[in-house]
């Protein structure tokens, strides 16, 4: 018998790491420290899930990673098992769902998919649009025994 816990609040450390990762990728480029910060993110995910699991074994973790989050899913996956060793998440199935980025035009209000923060509106060419989705880094759900 398992039960599910949904929408774990992103804890402060995860937010901090996310800000750090965005800052870092802007400042130093894509190649520096990627593995390091995904390792820190994986640690933070394990800690968040352990707190919510409240002593029960975690069977599955569903993670949302937005395409604008600056987080590399494969790297999180790579680090997750190592971070989970010896915790309630050892051997847990990790499911990563990508959240496609979407924006709303500041001028014509159209909603459209974006690949990057400053993509112009495809209909009217406006810049500075509102990001609606794609910045997610959160535990969507965990399944516990």
Residues that bind Zn ion (CB under 5 A): 105, 107-108, 110, 121, 123-124, 126
Residue closer to Zn ion (CB basis): 16 or 108: 108
Q: Minimum distance from CB of 112 to Zn ion (Å)?
A: 8
Q: Least distance in Å: CB of 100 to Zn ion? A: 19
Which two structure tokens, joined as six digits, stand for 145? 């025994």
Taking the alpha carbons at both ends of the chain, their separation in whole angstroms is 6
Q: How far is the CB of 121 from Zn ion (least distance, A)?
A: 3
Nearer to Zn ion, 105 or 144 (CB): 105
Distance (Å, rounded) from C-alpha 78 to C-alpha 80? Answer: 6
Pick between residue 85 and residue 107 the one whose CB is nearest to Zn ion. 107
Q: Is 59 helix (H, G, I), strand (E, B) or coil?
A: strand
**In the complex, minimum distance from the CB of residue 133 to Zn ion, in angstroms, rounded to a whole number:** 17
Ranges assigned E (strand) in the chain: 3-6, 58-66, 93-99, 102-104, 111-113, 130-133, 137-144
Judged by CB, which is closer to Zn ion: 58, or 121?
121
């Amino acid at each position: 018998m398992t039960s599910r816990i949904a929408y774990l609040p992103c804890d402060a450390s995860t937010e901090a790491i996310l800000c750090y990762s965005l800052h870092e990728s802007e400042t130093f480029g894509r190649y520096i420290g990627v593995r390091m910060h995904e390792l820190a993110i994986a640690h933070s995910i394990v800690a968040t899930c352990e707190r919510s699991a409240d002593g029960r074994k975690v069977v599955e973790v569903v993670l949302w990673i937005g395409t604008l989050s600056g987080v590399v899913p494969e790297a999180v996956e790579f680090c997750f098992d190592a971070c989970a060793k010896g915790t309630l998440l050892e051997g847990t199935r990790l499911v990563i769902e990508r959240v496609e980025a979407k924006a709303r035009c500041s001028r014509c209000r159209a909603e459209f998919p974006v690949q990057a923060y400053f993509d112009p509106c495809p209909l009217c060419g406006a810049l500075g649009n509102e990001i609606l989705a794609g910045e997610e880094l959160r535990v969507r759900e965990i399944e516990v025994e």
